[in-house]
Structure 1
Amino acid sequence: MPYISTYVNNFAGKTTGNFNGGMDLKYGINDAFTLDVTLIPDFGQASFDNTILNLTPFEQQFSEQRSFFTEGTELFSKGDLFYSRRVGGNPSRYPNVSENETVSEYPSKVKLFNAFKISGRTKKGLGIGIFNGVTEKMEATITDNNSGATRKEVVEPWTNYNVLVFDQRFHENSSVTLVNTNTTRTGDFRDANATGLLWNISNKANTYSYYGNIKGSWVMDDGTKFGSRGTVGVGKFSGQNRFELLANYVNKDWDINDLGFSTSTNYASYRGWYGYRALKPTKKFNNIFLNFNLNYDHRLDNFLYSNFRFNHNNQFTNKNFESFGGGIEFTPFGENDIYEPRTFTRHLKVPGYFDSWIWFESDSRKKLQFNVNFDYYAYDSKARNKVSTSLYLRYRATDQLNLVWQFNPVFSNNEIGFAGKDSNNIYMGRRQRNTYENSISGKYTLNNKMALSLAFRHYFSDVTYKQFYSLNTDGSINPDTNFTKNTNGTFNSWNVDLRYSWWFAPGSQLTLLYRNAIQNYLDTSRMTVTNNFETLFDEPMVNNLSLKVTYFIDYNRAKHWFKKGS
């Protein structure tokens, strides 16, 4: 499937354009295996990311929007070692600059040169998946502030990404899986490898399962760092009464972030679950689900208690096909947060909380569907709480027109979080945070070959710090007036995508996309709604118009045409 695409982009009063061309290829090797190839791909029309103001110790994880990485990828997801957004993601290094230099140009994304994947399953139940992708070398431009001279520095070299999966099914419901991921960069950049062995053994009746995994990570960067993690579990996942028991650990050097996604490390966790399912409808309900969970976590290297949680949640569906439920969760002994201080050997004491929530979903078969959710956290600390709500409305006006509106406000009062650190102290802050997320999506089908779609999202979050504290070695905090850095902030993210799609021939598509986007971050908070939007729209705005045409060529038909022509 060859493609051509063209873009006109206006930003900060400057208009630029570019033209691209490439090809996607799909080849049926046999009845079981398929080869997919993308050559010089263009993902510029992929949906926008839902960016947030991230105050956590971990990076934000984004969902995959590129079709090549979402179609036929079931095998590659096994073991959770492959996070496809790493391929063609952010550069892995930032330039080294002197005091009189600034970075004048820095690539936001790495270009994917080509990629292929082979996947399928043999008649004997062996699933095989092979993925390989190559990204181009990317450079940043550094400018000398005195002379104006510029130089280039490599921030991402030519890189090869590889994933290999073998998944053997046996006895109908059991499997053993071997997964390996590898990242190889040219030059003095770091390389990485990760391997996982997974098993899931079920009895003949498929009522009980015994499962587990053992995984290792190797990062080669001025030496080799080895990390590991593992899980064992047993459960009954059918019938009216169900249960699960599992234990897992992650050591401090576990790192798969070159081609995977990992956050929490250096912990052990133990979980027990009991679930009740009503297998037959009752007089009032079609479905009844009841769940009870117990979790206990501790730090792995010194067995520091992390948390103990009890959770109960339930779901009911009545005869009108309306679903509702709720739940509670509490930590009676509080928590030792080993990640919030951003320092490996430290922890923050967090008071216990009691969380309760309720939700309701109307009948999805009707033209108008609405879902509501209310969630309230109450902490064992004066005036500390968190309120999270959500509203979902979907209106199916006709078979051609569908509209969805979602609104999610979250209010965190007097939460304690990381503010900064110096050579002597780690500083925490007591803060107020308000977040509003508003989104609208719609689709209008003109006919069986044409459709219009709209995606809009505005995300707003502001944080105000009321008091600062120094963190003690036992995890407690003391008021500290020495920290004076302004950590207040307001973040906005505004995105609009208006898309026209025309399937002008079998497997062939023309897509015209208008994209509007703005982002801003200000080191102030508690702005009025009017002031917030005024400052947001004072920022340079991205206006992008793109056209992409993909044409499907059937090899067998093309071969017949050429023979007929000759």
Structure 2
Amino acid sequence: MSILRSLYLITGIICFQPLFAQDQSTTDSTQVNYEKRVYTTTSVADREPIKIDGILDDAAWEAVEWTTDYVENQPDIGTAPTEQTKMKIVYDDKNIYFAFRCYQKDPSTIEKRMGRRDDFPGDWVEVNIDSYNDDRTGFSFTVSASGVKGDEFISNNGNNWDSSWNPIWYTDTNIDDEGWTAEIRIPLSQLRFGNDDEQVWGIQSTRRYFNNEERSLWQPIPPSPPGWVSEFGILKGIKGIKPQKQLEIQPYTVAQLDTYEEMPGNPFRDGSDTKLTAGLDAKIGVTNDLTLDLTINPDFGQVDADPGAIALDGFEIFFQERRPFFVENKNVFDFTVGGGADNLFFSRRIGRTPQGYTTADASMGEFEDFPNNTTILGAAKFSGKTKNGWALGLLESVTSKEYAEIKLNTDPEVLENLEQRGMPREELVEPLTNYLVARAQKDFNENNSYVGGIITATNRKLEDNLDFLRESAYTGGIDALHNWKERKYYVTGKFTFSTVKGSPEAIENTQTSLTHLFQRVDADHVSVDPTRTSLTGTGGSFEIGGRSDNGNWRYNTGGNFRSPELELNDIGFLRQADQISQYANIRRIWNKPTSWFRQANIGLNQSSQYDFEGNYNRIQYEIFSYVNWKNNWWSEFGAAHKPRIYSNTVLRGGPRWRWNEENFFYFFSGTDSRKKFNMHAGYVHSEAKQDNFSFKRYVLRFFYQPLNSLNLSLVNEYQQSPNKTQYVTQSSFNGTPRYILGEIDNESLSSTLRVNYNINPNLTIQYYGQPFIFKAKFSNFNYVTDPMAKNLNDRVAWYNGNQISFADGVYNVDEDGDSAVDYSFGNPDFAFVQFRSNLVLRWEYIPGSEIFLVWSQGITGLGDVNNSFGTIIDNQLLSERPQNTFLIKATYRFVL
């Protein structure tokens, strides 16, 4: 839904300004400013309670007048909508109520598509409530004509929409001769507001008219607004309501059965395992503004598996958080460091795969049972926003010690042939760990500015053989944002620091990790100190930007830095330290439709990068654009030129490496998403000079909705990324380092199928399945001679047939031709095969209480790189026995 919001506020297209100049010269040359609309509600506490059935015949609705005159915002901004909408708002001591009349001349054309919660299918109407009245945050409630509910928490003035927020509220709809109607009852306990006797809230309502893919708003907003929440209208008349201290308790129980192929002799792989667990989630309203969320032994069994991915560059792959406890309100704790995924808080560190290892020795008949994840004993999250403008967040979590179990082979014949036997035992692979994150922001200057800060702490109780882990890690930062001239201009900045402590081994591991690489042979500003027991680093960012008077131009410039010593990866995410970046962007937006398109933009970007030694490593120029065509198809295009590309990490501690200059472009396009059948197609092409490397990505996505209750999607991707100088390993020749590279033929293929069957809004069946295959085959091995040479042939030297030979899975190199092996390295070829699937039946039998039936399948293994994709699918996927997981989960939500 957040993508739709972004398109709704600022959409863009491919095309240069002169192409559309004749259509745009008079339609968007000035910015339209709308007065804030005001709706005054009243209490109906002394009337008969409203029955939520979608039929607006309750006497309580007569207490207020309708408000109407919705204004179209998409595609033809500022005009009358094709179909008008009306809204009423009343309240009592415990609830706020909304009524909507959505006119439609031909009710048979109302699109009644079904979907799971937060799917937003077909025709829908929505209300957004800024009950904090802070112009930055809000609560969104959406109901479709078919009765599907959607709810999101809005933050950052509409730049973030968190659909993981699932409050308890009630709604129903009805279709009649005039169109369709909707009723909504929202308990006040699900909102957050101050304790003033008379409340003033921000309010906005949006209607989607499906037939024309049209959005209309109760409170009109100008083209290219400075934000979303700050432009809301005003709700008055709420008097005397008391803060509602929320108390919800949700226990759960899970029964699980795992089946898999039995492995003879392995005591941990006897064919099946069973497990019964229980836990508890709770939500406690400490005050009406601040909420405490608790979880004990949380279960994440029905969460989708991560998509298949392989990184040849050695860096950790970033995966999105999907676990409900950590996803909800995660924006409160976000503190990004420059661009990309780098953040002081990355919740997937909590409950991560254990980082230790065991001494299990297969040659002694030993098998190990290594845990997939670390057990989260409990977690608490305190968050909210006070009437004084303080946004607060505090998260505390404890993960348990994790042990790997080691047992002997159960086959007596195998044990008889072993000279010695190991002993059954448990070995510690992850220590008891405490995680803490504290976040605060304070609004001022009439909500146009804020200052904030964050502190994180990770503390481990190290025992046994875990001294290679850091004992403690602390990070912190301050951030600030200031808007002025009615949010026309802004400036923002951040400063970050980190301190990690541990044994000399742990800190040396930190210094030599791919994130830092202090051992780089040509780096004068960093070096490995094996005696250090701590490391302290800093980071920061700065950006200033604005928009033109008519809102059609957006621009910003800024930069960020990460010192060589900055380390965030205990509870945050940091890909690479030792970096200074600069960027500048400009974008032209067309919000008025023409005879060609509905909305559009085009932008330019320039960026460059340095390290702390002053090396000029990269510069890039990019153009990007997007168009939503008149027929509601869309296209996007982008291209970039990279004349300078140097890397400090390619040779993994070796010298700085130069890539040939690169050019790339991409093009994607899609048909009208409202159609029962629609599709996307895309192509990405990158190529470096001298054919140093290239990248091709093909994407084909299909979406089909044969019934209102059934929709299917199939997303196919194929990638090729050959490279003549892919890093393989390091060796030594007569005391001289050898950085060995190879020409890689790299392909990957994935296909993701999703099927959603919605029996009703509260009873759904979902299926997810994805096979993923990755092949990497090496040839034409070479070694680095001059890593900074402009010409590829001067940068490396290729081994000839007399210098390199292959036998028994090993490449032997006789570099000087004296018939003696100078060094060797293993065969780097590999093929990775994975299949993941999930079939979930979800029944919300009462609001907030659910039953899940889940069947998961998984296959993971290695294939033969010499086989075709078809043969790998047949041999490594279809013929393998998958691991199956069956589970039943039941929750009950007590609202006290």
Give the TM-score, by structure 1 length: 0.93
Fraction of identical pairs, as percent: 24
1:538-549 equivalences under 5 Å are 538-549=879-890
Per-residue deviation, 1:142: 5.1
Per-residue displacement from partner, 1:350-390 (whole Å, max 9, x unpaired)?
Answer: 11111112111222222222111111112101374321111
Q: Which residue of structure 2 aligns with residue 477 of structure 1? A: 796
**Residue equivalent to 2:431:** 157
| Greater Cα radius of gyration, structure 1 or 2 | 2
In structure 1, give the amino acid aligned to 2:718. Answer: P
Q: Does the 8 Å CA contact 1:195/1:215 hold for their aligned counterparts?
A: yes
- CA offsets, 1:141-174, max 9 Å, x none? 4579822213333221111111100011222232
Aligned to 1:379: 688
Q: Provide the alpha-carbon RMSD of the alignment.
A: 2.1
- Which of structure 1's runs of 4+ aligned residues deviate more than 4 A? 96-103, 142-145, 537-540
Q: How do residues 316-395 of structure 1 correspond to structure 2 at under 5 angstroms?
A: 316-333=627-644, 335-343=645-653, 346-382=655-691, 384-395=693-704
The one-character-per-residue Cα deviations of 1:472-527 (angstroms, maximum 9, x if unpaired) are: 46343222442552111111110111111111122110000001100112463444
- Look up the match of 2:453: 178
Structure 2 residue identity aligned to 1:37:
L
- Quick one: which of 339, 342, 346 aligns to 1:83? 346
Question: Equivalent residue for 1:314?
Answer: 625
Q: Is the 8 A contact 1:519 1:539 kept in 2?
A: no
Q: Given the alignment of the two structures, is residue 460 of structure 1 paired with residue 809 of structure 2, yes or no?
A: no
* Structure whose residues are more often strand by fraction: 1
For 1:415 and 1:472, locate their aligned partners in 2 and report how far apart those are by CA, in whole Å: 15
Which residue of 2 is the match for residue 233 of structure 1? Answer: 543
SS at match of 1:74: helix
Query: 2:563, 2:358 → 1: CA distance?
Result: 31
Q: Distance in 2 between matches of 1:277 and 1:22?
A: 50
Corresponding residue for residue 126 of structure 1: 390
What is the 5 A alignment of 1:149-548? 149-171=423-445, 172-187=447-462, 189-190=469-470, 191-222=472-503, 223-237=533-547, 239-300=551-612, 302-333=613-644, 335-343=645-653, 346-382=655-691, 384-422=693-731, 424-472=737-785, 474-475=787-788, 476-480=795-799, 481=804, 482=813, 484-522=825-863, 524-527=865-868, 529-548=870-889
1:108 corresponds to which of 344, 348, 372: 372
- Give the aligned residue type for 2:594: T
- Inter-partner Cα distance in structure 2 for 1:435 and 1:47: 21
Which segment drifts farther, 35-44 or 476-485? 476-485
Q: 1:3 to 1:148 in 2, by over 3 A?
A: same
Deviation at 1:539, TM superposition (A): 4.4
| Alignment-derived partner of residue 561 in structure 1 | none
Matched, 1:11 2:267: no
Point out where structure 1 has 5 or more consecutive residues left out of the alignment.
Answer: 556-566
Q: How many residues align?
A: 552
The separation in 2 between residues aligned to 1:533 and 1:117, in whole angstroms, is 47
1:464/1:526 contact within 8 Å kept: no
Distance in structure 1 (CA, Å) of the matches to 2:627 and 2:679: 16
TM-score by length of 2: 0.59
Deviations 1:206-232 (A, max 9, x none): 111111111011111121111211111
**Any unmatched runs of 5+ in structure 2?**
1-249, 263-270, 337-342, 409-417, 504-532, 789-794, 805-812, 814-823
Give, as a single letter, the amino acid of the residue that structure 1 aligns with 2:760: N
- 2:318 matched to 1:44? no
Provide the residue aligned with 2:281 in structure 1: 24
Contact 1:195 1:217 in 2 (8 A): yes
CA deviations over 1:43-99 (Å, ceiling 9, x no partner): 222211113122122111111121111112220123321111110011133346799
SS of match in other structure, 2:571: coil
Letter in 1 for 2:357: Y
Q: Provide the C-alpha distance between the structure 1 equivalents of 2:361 and 2:851, rounded to a whole number of angstroms.
A: 48
Between the two structures, name the one with larger relative contact order (CA 8 Å, sep ≥ 6). 2
Per-residue deviation, 1:100? 7.2
Is residue 386–residue 413 contact of structure 1 (8 Å, CA) maintained in 2?
yes
Q: Deviations over 1:95-143 (max 9, x none)?
A: 4679977672322210111101011001121100011111010122457
Question: What is the distance in 2 between the residues matched to 1:260 and 1:352?
Answer: 33
Aligned-pair distance for 1:433?
Answer: 0.7
Residues 434 and 98 of structure 1, relative CA distance in 2, 3 Å threshold: closer
How far, CA to CA, are the matches of 1:147 and 1:499 in structure 2?
Answer: 45
For 1:437, the aligned partner's letter is S
State whether residues 348 and 471 of structure 1, in contact with CA within 8 Å, keep that contact through their aligned partners in structure 2.
no
Q: 1:136 to 1:383 in 2, by over 3 A?
A: closer
The secondary structure found in structure 1 opposite 2:839 is strand
